[in-house]
Structures are given as C-alpha cells and as structure tokens.
Amino acid sequence: MILHDRIADILPSWRDRVNRLVKENGDFKVCDVTVSQIYQGIRGVQIQVTDISYVDPYEGIRLRGYTIPELLEKLPRLPGCQFPLAGGLYFLLMTDSLPTFEEAMEVENEWKKYAAIPDHVIKMMHAMPRNTHPMTLFSQAIMACQVDSVFTRRYMEGLPKSDYWIPTLDDSIQLTAKLPALAAMIYNWKYRNGSVIEPNPNLDWSGNFAWMIENPNSHEYEELCRLFFLLHSDHEGGNVSAHTAHLVNSALSDIYLTSAAAMNGLAGPLHGLANQECLRWLLKVYNNFESFPSEEEVIDFARAELNSGRVIPGYGHAVLRTTDPRFTAQYEFAKKYLPDDELFRLVSRIYDVLPGVLKENAKIKNPYPNVDAINGTLQYHYGVREFDFYTVLFGVSRVLGISAHAVWARALNKPIERPKSLTTAMLEERVSGKPDTIEVEM
Ligand SMILES: CC(C)(COP(=O)(O)OP(=O)(O)OC[C@H]1O[C@@H](n2cnc3c(N)ncnc32)[C@H](O)[C@@H]1OP(=O)(O)O)[C@@H](O)C(=O)NCCC(=O)NCCS
C-alpha cells in the first residue's frame, strides 16, 4: 500500500538523523528535573520526542507542522464537502507529507476493506450488562479485535526488528478502519434499537459514523464528524492517553493492546471524560435562568461558582495560553450551521465574558476556552445527547494519532521504557547534600 511505500522511502533518512543525534550528542543535557516536578505529575519535564504533533502554547496544536486552520485549508476533501477526509489526515500523520486527493482516497478505500466488525465482538458486547460505560465497551471491543493482530502473529514467526513497523502499520489500518463502526455499534446498543448497521460504501470514514447511527441531520452531522475526528486526532505525546500508548507499545504490545490501554486512560475524568462535564455545566447555567442570561448574570454566576471552590469546565489548559484553535474551528462551524441554537448562544456569551472573570484570579494561567467548551454543544444540537458517549467519539479520533506515534516508534526502534524510581528517603538525602548513592544505568 502507498503508506508502506512512503514510509519505507523516508525511513532511512530518519534513522540516520536520529542515530547521528544520539551518537554525536548522547551526553547533551536537555533538562533538569526538580523535586516539585517529580511530585507534580512530571509537568514540563522534556522526556519525549515525537514528530507527529506539537502543542504550541500560543498557536495550539500543530499536526506534522500544520496548524488547525492550515489543515482545514490544505487537506483534501470530497466534492461538496467543507471538511477534509480523515484518510488524508492519517496519510499526513503517517508519512509527514500532505496527500493528494487520490492518496487520501487510497487510505479511505483501504479502510473500507477492513471496516466490518467481527461477529464475536458483537456477541461480546451483548454479553455485557446494559449499564456498562461506553468507554469500557469501546476498550473491550478494541481488545476483542486483537485476535487478528498481524504484528503479534509475525513477531511470533520471527520478524526482524527493522521490519516491526510494517505489521504495526497493517494493524493500525485494520483497527482504525473499524473504529467508526465499533463506536456506532456501541451507540446503537446503548441508546437506540441495537442494530448493527453496515458502513455505506459511498461515504467516507468520518461521514460513515453519522450514517451508522442513522443521524437524521445526515449531511451537517457528517460534516461535524469530519471536523471533530480531525480536531481530536492528536495532542503531542505527553497527555495521558498518548503517553500510555507509547509506554505500552514500547513493550512490543501490538496496536490493539496499545490503543485499548490508551482508551482506558482517555476514560478518566481528568482527561477525555472532561468534555461531558463541560456540557453538564453549560446546561446548569442555562437551567439556572428563566430567560437567556445577560452578560452580568453570567459573570455573577461564574464568580459564585469560583468562590465556592469549583472549576469552570472547558476553560484553562496545562499547556495552551490562548483560545484553543480546536474550540475556534468548532465555534466557526456553529456560527455557520447553528447560529440560533440556544446552547451555542450561551457558549458564545460565556466566551465573551468568562476570560475576564478568570483573569481576576492570578493563579489561573490560561483563562481561555479549550476544545471541551464547545464539543458537547455541537453533538447535543445534532441529537447525540448521551453525555457518557462523547469520550468514545474522542477515542475514535485519537487512535489515529496514537497509531502514527506507534508506527514511528517501531520504525525508529525506540526501546522499552523504564524510568528510574527513587524512595522518599533517597530524595531527602539528596536535598540535604549527602553524596549520591544511586547508580543510574544507561
Ligand atoms: C485544564 C486544567 C486541568 C489545567 O490545570 P493546570 O495546568 O493546573 O492549570 P493552571 O496552572 O492554570 O492552574 C492553576 C490554578 O488555577 C485553577 N484553575 C485553572 N483553570 C481553572 C478553571 N477553569 N476554573 C477554576 N479554576 C481553574 C487550577 O485549579 C489551579 O488551582 P489550584 O492551584 O488551587 O490547584 C484546568 O485548567 C482545569 O481544571 N480546567 C477545567 C477542566 C477542563 O476544562 N478540563 C479539560 C481540559 S482539556
């Protein structure tokens, strides 16, 4: 397939580049680590390299060097569509070059070959209790597909290390192909009549999700899916799901094991689950007032929330120091397709006044909205109102990025990760100036 050829073409120069960097500068110190950083989630410690994406505090995410507005402009799209094909995005993430329309379609067509869900996956879901969280079902469904892992089979056959990336890419194509169908299967079983709808061969990967949940606003919701699945595909290597994926894959666990582990991290309330909290909060504001709230009323409400020690979901970010461009892209979508939606109008009103309120508290480093401040509003508008499903949509998109990280980690032969732990007593000794008794293996 074209992706294999492209990666094979550029891989020798990437391997040379990395080998030279390590050989000539192996002792160069990148950063120091403080006691606070060790105890505070290793924030800001520069211990990873990835060329797939980078979060700039003021520009937001760049995927393979391109900002969100650049991607929306440059990636190929279907005739009559405003938003790009996910196949083109996947091509870019994997090969570091912008695809032509034909190249994007080649990925889309390859995905179509593997989109069907194996029967045992459907049976497994049916055996679960009805109240199982959709993220649990999603992770289980990915795991259940692992039986077909090409990497695991070929590894057992003695595949040479230099070729690990090839079946990793095969697995990635075959797993990502199924993700919209897996998500739709879960959605229909949890919230609709339980039907498993075949993908529509005339639709692209993103648009097919709208089809498979039989969304009545099909054209607009297909467009939203294209936008949503692009925006959430990657956010550097240090967030919980990406970091988990990298670690698990470093043990040569295949893409299925890797992605399911990442989804388990994404399912946490401090990570992917945050988007459902945002919509809950928005509805709380909305329902608090008998008529549409004025700016003053929103300001008073927000101040009262903050004064009672609550966070305002959808605002702030660990890295960003500006409005998240993923928020802006969805905001523009809403202005075009749902300008009169009451919840969107509320998102807009809050956006006008909340940064000013948050700036009153100097310790809040970023008073601007992140992507979650609007995600749920758009889904809600198009009838996807089951909050606990939103993280599955996030996951469908995020596995695209995770896969690209894993393929390149195998291509560059990144070793198993094994950071060193210390005891509290050792740290106390070090800070008191006693001689270091720990030998760090290299
Ligand atoms: C995203 C988030 C977890 C980043 O946390 P962070 O990196 O620690 O952010 P900061 O350094 O700006 O935090 C400094 C302080 O401001 C507070 N703060 C940050 N954003 C806030 C918000 N939206 N509302 C109220 N307080 C906030 C933090 O809780 C922290 O308080 P503390 O010192 O008492 O613990 C944080 O902004 C937050 O909780 N936002 C709301 C939840 C959310 O939108 N999550 C989705 C993220 S994509």
Domain span holding position 407:
1-442
DSSP string spanning 50-82?
A: -SSEEEETTTEEEETTEEHHHHHHHS---TT-S
- Phi first, then psi, for residue 158 (nearest 5°) are 95, 30
CATH code assigned at 386: 1.10.580.10
Cα 329 to ligand 1 centroid, rounded to whole Å? 22
Q: How far is the CA of 117 from the centre of ligand 1 (A)?
A: 39
Q: What is the pLDDT of residues 251-264, one digit of tens each?
A: 999 999 999 999 99
CA angle, corner 397, sides to 394 and 398, nearest 5? 80
Q: What is the pLDDT of residue 272?
A: 85
Enter the DSSP assignment of 66.
E
Residue 297, both tokens: 């009323």
Residue 436: band (very low, low, confident or very high) from pLDDT cuts 50, 70, 90: low
Distance CA 216, CA 291 (A): 29
Strand, coil or helix: 57 = coil
CA distance to 11, 53, 114, 147, 242, per residue, from 170 (Å): 17, 22, 11, 14, 20
Instruction: With CA atoms as reference, report the closest residue to 384 among 264, 229, 182, 209.
Output: 209
Is the pLDDT reported for residue 442 higher than 60?
no
The tens digit of pLDDT for each residue in 50-91 reads: 999 999 999 999 999 999 999 999 999 999 999 999 999 999
Task: Give the tens place of pLDDT for each residue, 142-189.
Answer: 999 999 999 999 999 999 999 999 999 999 999 999 999 999 999 999
Query: What is the number of domains present in the chain?
Result: 1
| Residue where the block lists tokens 């000539």 | 24
pLDDT above 80 (res 438): no
Of 171, 204, 324, 372, which is the active-site residue? 372
Please name the helix (run of DSSP H) or strand (run of DSSP E) that holds residue 173, with its range, or none: helix 165-191
How many Å apart are CA 346 and CA 334, to the nearest integer?
12
- Provide the CA 89 distance to its chain's centre, in angstroms: 13
The stretch 206-226 carries a mean pLDDT of 94
Tokens (6 digits) for 281: 């909060």
43 lines ligand 1 (CB under 6 A): no
Q: What is the pLDDT of residues 390-422, one digit of tens each?
A: 999 999 999 999 999 999 999 999 999 999 999
- Residue 87 token pair: 């196949």
Closest residue by CA, ligand 1 atom 26: 311
Ligand 1 pocket, mutate which of 315, 323, 351, 372 (most atoms under 8 A from CB):
315
**Structure letter (DSSP) for residue 101:** H
Average confidence score pLDDT of the chain:
95
Helix residue ranges per DSSP H, 289-381: 295-307, 325-337, 342-359, 372-381
d(C-alpha 153, C-alpha 140), whole Å: 20
Give tens-digit pLDDT for 307-324: 999 999 999 998 899 999
Q: Among residues 4, 96, 148, 271, which one is catalytic?
A: 271
pLDDT in tens, 264-297: 999 998 888 888 889 999 999 999 999 999 999 9
Cα–Cα distances in angstroms (integers) from residue 20 to residues 13, 24, 25, 27, 164, in the given order: 10, 6, 8, 13, 21
DSSP letter (8 states) at residue 315: B
Q: How far apart are CA 300 and CA 304, in angstroms?
A: 6
